[in-house]
Amino acid sequence: MSDKYLLKLYITGYTPRSQRAISNLIQLCESHLRNRHEIVIIDVLEQPQVAEAEKILVTPTLIKEFPLPKIRIIGDLSNTHTVLLGLNIPYKQ
């Protein structure tokens, strides 16, 4: 798993904002992390104990678990360049 990215996306229900964040994350991963990622989507309405343990206060929140360091990005992930920079992923146009 050391060369793969483990990304956890915390959402609140399947609202338009949550769906946009999911779609943006999938597109980003397909374009920049082909076959080097795992996405876990956690709905805080269905799993509040997990959100509480991670101290999730705002959704959508993306947490990059691996590779370290652990990083959080809040929002719908629509600014690809900013998200890639935050995740320390080289930007390819």
pLDDT digits (tens, 9 = 90+) for 37-84: 999 999 999 999 999 999 999 999 999 999 999 999 999 999 999 999
What is the rounded CA–CA span in Å between residue 3 and residue 77? 22
Read off the DSSP letter of residue 78.
-
What is the rounded CA–CA span in Å between residue 65 and residue 5? 7
pTM: 0.91
6-43 pLDDT, tens digit each: 999 999 999 999 999 999 999 999 999 988 999 999 99
The CA dihedral of 31, 7, 35, 90, to the nearest 10 degrees, is 50
Q: Which CATH architecture has domain 5-85?
A: 3-Layer(aba) Sandwich (3.40)
